[in-house]
């Protein structure tokens, strides 16, 4: 029996989906534990591309129990669409389970996300406008609606009517928007409930049974460490805890069961949305990385901001998540540059530091300290053994391991799940 967790170490889109899909092969249960359809996980199998937002990336393997955990916030219409698109591609929903404790994204959450972003003006966070923040805010404020409520028409109707009394006031009086008619929302959502109720169950008890009977479990993280509500670049973060510890809460699993934590990273850094990014390259280098790595959002299609790999961040992520392994993607992409820079530390107030500060003012004072590497001007997309990588690539990867103090286990040399080097 093993319980493994996969998390992002940067600002998301590190290629978690590809490795979750790969590790799912050796797992019996896959649990998505945080976030909602702000996530976009790409899996490419034999040239066919799957973009997953809510359904665990383990769904592509037959017979795996795929759980949408209690820590996830669910937009029912999006989930229904995703399930039906997967079915069209021949992917079965037979083993999909939705936690009865997961919270529901309501239409007022989506509208409030948009109204809040507009209100922030120049200070907007660049959210995905999927209603994520407002849905988690209601969860903590204790006015959220859970999947167990959605599939119970009386409870659901009562909660919607009650919530809308306040939400409509906020929408109309504070933001000058147009409120919702409770009965229309109830009718729409009870239609979704009819479709989704067959998947809703006490997922936590199923997970516990699986662990007790020695099954292999994979906890699928969305977003990433620097987007974490507590440890990310607050307030430019998401509203959940996508770190490994969040897996314990978002799946309902005791910390002592976790055996391994994989931290997925890119060989460079990207970020979507606003917020600090010390190694960002707002120049032709950033544009080149974006073009070479095709850095456009899976969820919103936004061009991603690109820059050099920041090892201060990776060390921070290693510490917070207790990483046992690194999984590094886009090693094919970065090697196409003639010269590659690696940020090995920050210089702040004239001193060298490896600490990632909480205060954004302090972070703004941090200047990256770079080491330069030569690229490996050759196509490595067909390399499958570490020994066969160019020497320049090995030099870059060794330095990353040395600074992170974590070994690299998986190396991505292309989009397809087969384009992976597993290091012995």
Q: How many CB atoms lie within 10 A of CB 80?
A: 14
Strand partners for 217: 3, 29
- The answer to whether the CB of 4 falls within 8 A of the CB of 262 is yes
| Active-site residue flag, 61 | no
DSSP 160-173: HHHHHHHHHHIIII
Alpha carbon 380 to chain centroid, angstroms = 27
Size of interface with ligand IMO, in residues (CB under 6 A):
23
Does position 101 bind ligand GDP by CB under 6 A? no
Pick from 115, 91, 29: which is nearest to 65 by CA?
A: 29
Look at the alpha carbons of 319, 321, 326, 331 in this order and tell me if their dihedral is positive or negative: negative
Does position 130 bind ligand IMO by CB under 6 A? yes
**Would you give the DSSP letter of residue 128?**
-
- The answer to whether the CB of 255 falls within 8 A of the CB of 249 is no
Does position 125 bind ligand IMO by CB under 6 A? yes
Does position 69 bind ligand IMO by CB under 6 A? no
CB of 16 to ligand GDP, least distance (A): 3
Does position 21 bind ligand GDP by CB under 6 A? no
User: Which listed option, ligand IMO, ligand GDP, Mg ion, none, makes contact with residue 128 (CB within 5 to 8 Å by class)?
Assistant: ligand IMO
Give the tokens for residue 397: 């990867």
- The answer to whether the CB of 72 falls within 8 A of the CB of 35 is yes
Phi then psi dihedrals of residue 360, to 5 deg: -70, -25
Does position 216 bind Mg ion by CB under 5 A? no
Give the tokens for residue 255: 């910390």
- Which listed residue (8, 35, 36, 40) binds Mg ion by CB under 5 A? 40
User: Which listed option, ligand IMO, ligand GDP, Mg ion, none, makes contact with residue 415 (CB within 5 to 8 Å by class)?
Assistant: ligand GDP
What residues contact 297, with CB distance under 8 A and at least 6 apart? 13, 40, 272, 303, 304
Angstrom distances, CA of residue 404 to CA of 11, 319, 398: 17, 9, 10
Does position 27 bind ligand IMO by CB under 6 A? no
| Active-site residue flag, 332 | no
- Which listed residue (132, 145, 157, 200) binds ligand IMO by CB under 6 A? 132
Nearer to ligand GDP, 18 or 167 (CB): 18
Does position 127 bind ligand IMO by CB under 6 A? yes
- Which listed residue (232, 413, 417, 421) binds ligand GDP by CB under 6 A? 413
Site for ligand GDP in 283-312 (CB under 6 A): 293, 298
Does position 250 bind ligand IMO by CB under 6 A? no
Nearer to Mg ion, 163 or 239 (CB): 239
- The answer to whether the CB of 4 falls within 8 A of the CB of 28 is no
State the Cα–Cα distance between residues 279 and 30, nearest whole angstrom: 34
SS3 352: strand
Does position 18 bind ligand GDP by CB under 6 A? yes
Nearer to ligand GDP, 184 or 381 (CB): 381
Strand partners for 252: none
CB of 127 to ligand IMO, least distance (A): 4
- Which listed residue (3, 4, 14, 400) binds ligand GDP by CB under 6 A? 14
Pick from 309, 366, 301, 362: which is nearest to 334 by CA?
A: 309
- From the list 41, 53, 61, 330, the catalytic residue is 41
- Site residues (vs ligand GDP, CB under 6 A): 8, 12-18, 40-42, 44, 293, 298, 329-330, 332-333, 412-415
* Residues involved in catalysis: 13, 41
- Site residues (vs Mg ion, CB under 5 A): 13, 40, 298
- Site residues (vs ligand IMO, CB under 6 A): 8, 11-13, 38-41, 125-128, 130, 132-133, 222-224, 227, 238-239, 272-273
């Amino acid at each position: 029996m093993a319980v493994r967790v996969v998390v992002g170490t940067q600002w998301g889109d590190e290629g978690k989906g590809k490795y979750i899909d790969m590790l799912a092969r050796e797992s019996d249960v896959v649990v998505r534990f945080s976030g909602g359809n702000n996530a976009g996980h790409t899996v490419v199998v034999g040239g066919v591309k799957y973009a997953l937002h809510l359904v665990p990336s383990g769904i592509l393997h037959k017979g795996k129990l795929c759980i949408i955990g209690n820590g996830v916030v669910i937009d029912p219409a999006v989930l229904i669409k995703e399930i039906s698109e997967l079915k069209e591609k021949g992917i079965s929903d037979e083993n999909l389970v939705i936690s009865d404790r997961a919270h529901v994204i309501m239409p007022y959450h989506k509208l409030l996300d948009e109204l809040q972003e507009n209100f922030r003006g120049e200070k907007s966070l660049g959210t995905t406008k999927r209603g994520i923040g407002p849905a988690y805010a209601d969860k903590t404020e204790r006015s959220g609606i859970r999947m167990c409520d959605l599939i119970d028409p009386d409870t659901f109707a009562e909660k919607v009517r009650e919530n809308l009394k306040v939400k409509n006031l906020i929408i109309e009086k504070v933001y000058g928007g147009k409120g919702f008619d409770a009965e229309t929302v109830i009718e729409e959502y009870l239609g979704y409930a009819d479709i989704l109720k067959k998947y809703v169950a006490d997922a936590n008890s199923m997970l516990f049974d699986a662990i007790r009977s020695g099954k292999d479990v994979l906890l699928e993280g969305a977003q990433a460490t620097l987007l974490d509500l507590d440890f990310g670049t607050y307030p430019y973060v998401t509203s959940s805890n996508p770190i490994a510890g969040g897996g314990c809460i978002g799946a309902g699993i005791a910390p002592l069961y976790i055996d391994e934590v994989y931290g997925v990273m890119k060989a460079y850094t990207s970020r979507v949305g606003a917020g600090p990014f010390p190694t960002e390259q707002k120049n032709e280098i950033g544009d080149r990385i974006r073009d070479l790595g095709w850095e456009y959002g899976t969820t919103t299609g936004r061009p991603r901001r690109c820059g050099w790999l920041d090892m201060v961040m990776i060390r921070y992520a290693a510490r917070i998540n207790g990483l046992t392994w690194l999984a590094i993607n886009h090693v094919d992409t970065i090697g196409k540059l003639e010269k590659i820079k690696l940020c090995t530390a920050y210089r702040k107030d004239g001193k060298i530091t490896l600490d990632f500060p909480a205060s954004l003012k302090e972070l703004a004072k941090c200047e990256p300290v770079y080491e330069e590497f030569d690229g490996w001007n050759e196509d490595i997309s067909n390399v499958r053994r570490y020994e066969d990588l160019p020497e320049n690539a090995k030099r870059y990867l060794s330095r990353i391991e040395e600074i992170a103090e974590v070994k690299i286990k998986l190396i991505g040399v292309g989009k397809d799940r087969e384009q992976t080097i597993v290091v012995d």
